[in-house]
Amino acid sequence: MKVLLVEDDKVSRIAIYRYLSENGFECISLRSVKNALDVVFEQAFDIIFCDINLEDDSGFSLLEKIRESLLDIPFIFITASNDDDIIHEALDKGADDFLRKPFHLENLQTIIKRNIERKKIDFIRRSSNKESILLHAIKALIAALEAKDSYTSGHSLQVARYAHMLGEALGLFAEEQFILELSALLHDIGKIGMPDNILKKEASLQDDEYNLAKEHVIIGSKIITEINDLQEVATIIRHHHERFDGKGYPDGLKGDAIPLYSRIITIVDAYETIRAKRRYSDQQSMGYAFEELIKHSGTQFDPELLEVFIRMIRSTLSLKEKPKLQIE
């Protein structure tokens, strides 16, 4: 654990430095705001202790610069003052705690532990909040899309489920799975801007209608690119109708040049579309769906991914069909 100590009083500085060093902390001790600014953005500190009155400036100016930079390190003021106004001002400006002079050196460890724990909890709370707001917004977007065409209702969710299963079979990490599933959920979000007469048309589309329908990958990608954290998802959506042989759209990417998660979605999207009952088609068997996919292996679909997908669906099914163990 690395501590930055900014204190111009020599006796306090040496006492705190010695105590922290003897108790397993790495401590950098400095006397001025200028010296502190030289190191604080260069090195990674876990906590800062800072006197309010320093030889060249006030500790407040160090605090302000750190908070302006969005560096989220616990900042503890060391002060001999009992002035409530100073305490309130410090808290308003983002100080986390106070160490009042005179103090017992033993209190330092408690203050360090308490403030680092608080920051961690704060971080978890903020990130889970952000995530749940984002997920709610995404669910609302998908509901809006599916409200346009009740026959495709559930398609995005089912595609995301299959993508999750294939991701697991490929050994993706949790964060990678999150990106893949979000992309699968949102892959057709661009259809939200598509005219109903094209979206719901049962007969095959005319050339100009087909060209308009193809735009959904670009529209979807543009919608999602507006969300800062989801740039990768926007790219995956853009390429989910590319073909392995390079004859897909919108960019005609070929083979491995197509993002991996787009290649996954291409397969599971096709499988779900064949298997589900829609206004324009009946539900087809698993065997029929596999035959259709295999026909296009290496042309539309990545052959290696397709093989893993088929094997994974078959083994999931055989697991389901295994008789339950009889326990006596």
Residues that bind Fe ion (CB under 5 A): 188
Q: End-to-end alpha-carbon separation of the chain, Å?
A: 56
Instruction: Pick left, alpha or beta for residue 298 (phi over 0 → left; psi -120 to 50 → alpha; otherwise beta).
Output: left
Residues in the chain: 328
| Whether the Cβ atoms of residue 239 and residue 257 lie closer than 8 Å to each other | no
Min. distance of Cβ 238 from Fe ion in angstroms? 11
Please give the positions annotated as active site.
191
**Is the CB of 107 or the CB of 281 nearer to Fe ion?**
281
> By beta-carbon distance, which residue lies closest to Fe ion?
188
Q: Name which of 12 and 266 has its Cβ closer to Fe ion.
A: 266
Q: How far is the CB of 203 from Fe ion (least distance, A)?
A: 19
In the chain, count of helices (H) and strands (E)?
A: 14, 5
SS3 264: helix
Q: Nearest approach, Cβ of 60 to Fe ion (angstroms)?
A: 55
Of residues 2 and 161, the one with the C-beta less far from Fe ion: 161
- Pick 7 or 188: Cβ nearer Fe ion: 188
**Helices 231-238, 216-225: inter-axial angle, 10-degree rounding:** 180
Q: What is the dihedral of CA 295, 296, 298, 301, to 10 degrees?
A: -130
CA 234 to chain centroid: 13
CB of 225 to Fe ion, least distance (A): 17
3-class SS of residue 272? helix
